[in-house]
Amino acid sequence: MGIEDRLQEDLKSSMKSGEKIRVDTIRMLRSQIKNAAIAKGEPLTEGEIASALAKEAKRRKEALELYRQGGREDLSAAEARGIEIIEAYLPRAMAPEEIEAVISEALVETGATSLKDMGRVMSAVMARIKGSADGSLVQTLVRKKLV
């Protein structure tokens, strides 16, 4: 069962059980997937859906941090619950060791030797691990390998 199918089934069950935050979060996720498909002009692949969900989770984590800094515990609790719900649909995050192995393969493949080649390496790595790792972590690991 794909992510979209799981979202649809979970939306139905959440509506029946009256879980407002879960219903709102899933509706928002389905809306984002639909908007991304419209922007692309064709249905999204599972990887693209996972990427859209990861982007939303990242946005919510940033909002959560701002709510906590502002002392808005009511909003931060709801945001934290939304993040948990989104992360349940994301693929398992790759361990740093797994990411480093992909980076090593990309370095050999692209022939990169310096930081000037970072863009090519990042493109190759992100194409392979799309949605399975945070881009900033990947960037940090690539920098370490290229220095």
CATH number at residue 129: 1.10.10.410
Asked which of 40-54, 76-90, 121-135 is least confident by mean pLDDT, the reply is: 121-135
CATH of the domain at 61: 1.10.1510.10
Domain that holds residue 16: 3-87
Please list, in sequence order, all residues whose beta carbon lies within 8 angstroms of the beta carbon of residue 76, skipping any fewer than 6 positions away: 64, 67, 68
Q: How many folded domains does the chain comprise?
A: 2
- Residue 75 and residue 16 share a domain: yes
- Residue 30 and residue 49 share a domain: yes
- Residue 100 and residue 82 share a domain: no
Count of beta carbons in the 10 Å neighbourhood of residue 118: 15
- pLDDT for residue 147: 77
pLDDT exceeds cutoff 90 at 28: yes
- Residue 140 and residue 122 share a domain: yes
Q: Among 39, 55, 87, where does a domain finish?
A: 87
Q: Among 44, 61, 87, where does a domain finish?
A: 87
Instruction: Band the pLDDT of 112: cuts 50, 70, 90.
Output: confident
- Residue 52 and residue 15 share a domain: yes
Count of beta carbons in the 10 Å neighbourhood of residue 124: 18
